[in-house]
Amino acid sequence: MSIQAYQNNSVETASPGELTLMLYNGCLKFIKLAKKAVDNEDFEAKNRNIQKAQNIIRELMITIDPNASVSQEILPIYEFINHRLMDANIYNDARMLGEALELVTEFRDTWKEVLRQTRQLQHGQGGNA
pLDDT reported for residue 125: 60
Domain 15-122, CATH among 1.10.40.30, 2.70.98.10, 1.20.120.340, 2.60.40.1930: 1.20.120.340
Q: What is residue 14's predicted lDDT score, i.e. its pLDDT? A: 85
Full-model pTM: 0.86
Q: CB under 8 Å to 10, separation ≥6 — which residues?
A: 22
How many CA atoms does the CB half-sphere of 90 hold within 13 Å? Answer: 6
Report mean pLDDT in 10-residue bins for the chain, 129 residues. 60 86 98 98 98 98 91 96 98 98 98 93 64
| Cα–Cα dist 22/127, whole Å | 30
What distance in Å separates the CA atoms of residue 18 and residue 20, rounded to the nearest whole number?
A: 5
* 16: nearest Cα among 120, 126, 123, 115: 115
